[in-house]
């Protein structure tokens, strides 16, 4: 028995990266998956793969900035599969200019471009999931993809970081307000091992690789954690989407049934534990002697 046998999951931003991988993995473990994305073709490819492999999936274009499209996607999930157990509010996009526009020069349109997705889009996904889930005796489960940027600043990513911090706030508020309906809400904050597509033009096919894996593939180099990983934890392989998907899957599964209102840094390699005081990356106790 898979962990998602009999469950119905809707994923936003399911056509690439983390959302795509979770769609494939959860379907392989028994979920009926509604794969949605701004780019319809991406969602179609993922759903087709699931159906070809004997799973159950439906694909839809759903732009998380448009409330009516999210409402329609939830309605389509219920019409096709009868219920909604898991909403994975995962869609996200980078700040316009990918960190090249000074925060003080960001226009209202540029602010809205990213925040309508990473902040307001999470509200729409949660809102319409709740409206369905509160009618279900078993309640439901909402998982939100936040980001390291929701806890710490990335240079040039002010509007994104603010929106992601807002998404973390929504996780707590939704968990508090909807717990009485048996709806739990948690988030994960990916740090490393995330989708290289995020930094590439939307017409790029979904590559299914992390930045670190893509860099190795391009350079042909082998993985050297000591020089290539900017966190304290040194592992003998690069961080990957699988590392982040494992945390999303834990939150989406019954293994975390009694958790709510929590945002977990995923795949952080100890980065959040490290002080910013400059200490040589490869310091050792022996060198101190
Ligand atoms: N890749 C990173 O650097 C990184 C790091 C930390 C957190 N995150 C977050 O992880 C989540 C998943 O991103 P990913 O890394 O898999 O990137 P990705 O670019 O591979 O996938 C994101 C998907 O979201 C879709 N999308 C964008 N705008 C949308 C909208 N308005 N409505 C619906 N779908 C939309 C895109 O078309 C894309 O298919 C996002 O919330 C992102 O902010 C990404």
Can you give the pLDDT at residue 122? Answer: 99
| 103 has a pLDDT exceeding 90 | yes
- How many angstroms is it from 119 CA to the middle of ligand 1? 13
How many C-beta atoms lie closer than 10 Å to residue 223's C-beta?
Answer: 16
Class of domain 8-208+240-271: alpha beta
Is 160 one of the catalytic residues?
Answer: yes
The span from the CA of 146 to the CA of 144, in Å, is: 6
Average pLDDT over residues 167-178: 98
Give the start-to-end residue ranges of the domains of the chain: 8-208+240-271
Residue 272 per-residue DSSP state: G
- How many angstroms is it from 195 CA to the middle of ligand 1? 8
pTM of this structure: 0.97
Averaged pLDDT of the chain:
96
pLDDT tens sequence across 5-59:
999 999 999 999 999 999 999 999 999 999 999 999 999 999 999 999 999 999 9
pLDDT tens sequence across 183-239:
999 999 999 999 999 999 999 999 999 999 999 999 999 999 999 998 999 999 999
One of 81, 119, 124, 160 is an active-site residue; which one? Answer: 160
The span from the CA of 87 to the CA of 130, in Å, is: 9
Q: What is the dihedral of CA 201, 203, 205, 206, to 10 degrees?
A: 60
Can you give the pLDDT at residue 131? Answer: 98
240: which 2 tokens? 């990957």
């Amino acid at each position: 028995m898979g962990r998602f046998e009999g469950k119905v999951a809707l994923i936003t931003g399911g056509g690439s990266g983390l959302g795509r991988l979770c769609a494939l993995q959860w379907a392989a473990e028994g979920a009926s998956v509604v794969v949605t994305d701004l780019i319809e073709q991406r969602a179609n490819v993922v759903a087709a793969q699931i159906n070809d492999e004997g799973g159950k999936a439906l694909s839809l274009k759903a732009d998380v900035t448009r409330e009516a499209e999210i409402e329609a996607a939830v309605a389509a999930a219920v019409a096709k599969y009868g219920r909604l157990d898991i909403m994975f509010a995962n869609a996200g996009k980078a700040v316009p200019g990918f960190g090249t526009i000074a925060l003080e020069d960001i226009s209202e349109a540029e602010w809205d471009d990213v925040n309508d997705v990473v902040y307001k889009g999470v509200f729409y996904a949660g809102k319409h999931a709740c409206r369905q889930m509160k009618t279900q005796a078993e309640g439901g489960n909402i998982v939100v993809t936040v980001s390291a940027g929701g806890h710490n600043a990335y240079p040039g990513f002010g509007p994104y970081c603010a929106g992601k911090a807002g998404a973390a706030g929504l996780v707590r508020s939704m968990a508090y307000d909807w717990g009485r309906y048996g709806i739990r809400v948690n988030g994960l904050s990916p740090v490393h091992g995330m989708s290289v597509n995020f930094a590439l033009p939307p017409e790029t096919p979904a590559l299914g690789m992390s930045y670190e894996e893509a860099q190795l593939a391009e350079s042909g180099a082998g993985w050297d954690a000591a020089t290539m990983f900017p966190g304290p934890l040194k592992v003998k392989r690069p961080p990957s989407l699988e590392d982040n998907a494992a945390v999303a899957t834990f939150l989406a599964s019954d293994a975390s049934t009694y958790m709510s209102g929590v945002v977990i840094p995923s795949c952080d390699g100890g980065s959040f534990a490290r002080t910013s005081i400059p200490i040589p990356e490869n310091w050792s106790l022996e060198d101190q002697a």
